[in-house]
Amino acid sequence: MARIAGVDLPKHKIINIALRYIYGIGPKRANEIVTQLSLRSTTKVKDLTDEEVNRINDYITKNLQVEGDLKRDIQINIKRLITTGSYRGLRHRRSLPVRGQRSKTNARTRRGKRKTIGAGKSSLKTFNKNKKN
């Protein structure tokens, strides 16, 4: 099993697909890595030599920002937006959609589970029953 950038890559997958398991590497970057290092894109991870794994690891550490460093930079950028009081920062603080999406009816992923508000009449009836006793 190949360990690249602190991530264990699945050994039965093709190298283009397996590289996407690393946070910050998508389809385009995975293809770029394979072409830059002149690897065959049909090679499975279990068939890679130690030298090829080292070359991939060196290329990623020198040229790309992935995993913890990338996550840290994203969090720093969000904190900067919040502290400057920008509109995007306010949306982050209130955990609402940031990029102009509709939020009246959708945005359940950001806003969380629906919170139902109980009917007012039923609570008044129980209050009045208790008051008579």
- Residue 76's domain comprises 68-111
- Both 40 and 57 in one domain: the answer is yes
- Both 32 and 73 in one domain: the answer is no
Tens-place pLDDT, residues 58-92: 999 999 999 999 999 999 999 999 999 999 999 99
- Both 53 and 18 in one domain: the answer is yes
Any domain includes 128: no
Give pTM, 2 decimals: 0.74
- Residue 110: the pLDDT is 86
- Residue 130: the pLDDT is 63
What CATH number corresponds to the domain at position 90? 4.10.910.10
Question: Three-state SS string across the chain, please?
Answer: CCEECCEECCCCCEHHHHHHHCCCCCHHHHHHHHHHCCCCCCCEHHHCCHHHHHHHHHHHHHHCCCHHHHHHHHHHHHHHHHHHCCHHHHHHHCCCCCCCCCCCCCCHHHHCCCCCCCCHHHHHHHHHHHHHC
- Residue 103: the pLDDT is 86
Tens-place pLDDT, residues 6-61: 899 999 999 999 999 999 999 999 999 999 999 998 999 999 999 999 999 999 99
